[in-house]
Amino acid sequence: MNKALMAAAVLATAFLVSSPAARAQERELTREHDGSLGAFATLGVEYSSIVVADCFFCTGSSVDAGGAYHSARTIDGPDAILDVGGTMAVGQAGGEFLLRARLVFLSPAKGISAFLGYRKYWGKDEFKTFVAADLMVNFMPTVTFGARPGFGVAWDFSPIMGMWAEAAGTFGLGWGRRFGAEFTIGFQARSYLLE
What's residue 13's pLDDT?
46
- Which residue type occupies 32? E
- List pLDDT tens digits, range 6-28: 655 545 445 444 443 343 345 55
% of the chain surpassing 70 pLDDT: 73
- Asked whether residue 81 carries a pLDDT value surpassing 70, the answer given is yes
What's residue 29's pLDDT?
57
The answer for residues whose C-beta is within 8 angstroms of residue 138's C-beta and 6 or more apart is 111, 112, 113, 144, 145, 146, 172, 174, 178
Count the alpha carbons within 13 Å of 191 in the hemisphere toward its beta carbon. 5
- Asked whether residue 102 carries a pLDDT value surpassing 90, the answer given is yes
Per the CB < 8 A criterion, the answer to whether 127 and 153 are in contact is yes
What's residue 4's pLDDT?
60
Q: Which residue has the higher pLDDT, 195 or 168?
A: 168
DSSP letter for 71, please.
Answer: -
Per the CB < 8 A criterion, the answer to whether 121 and 33 are in contact is yes
What's residue 22's pLDDT?
43
User: What angle is formed at CA 31 by the lines to CA 26 and CA 35, rounded to 5 degrees?
Assistant: 60
Judged by DSSP in three states, 12 sits in helix
pTM here? Answer: 0.75
Per the CB < 8 A criterion, the answer to whether 119 and 132 are in contact is yes
Instruction: State the average pLDDT over residues 88-110.
Output: 88
- Asked whether residue 147 carries a pLDDT value surpassing 60, the answer given is yes
What's residue 60's pLDDT?
58
Judged by DSSP in three states, 103 sits in strand
Judged by DSSP in three states, 148 sits in strand
What's residue 90's pLDDT?
87
- List pLDDT tens digits, range 33-42: 667 789 999 9
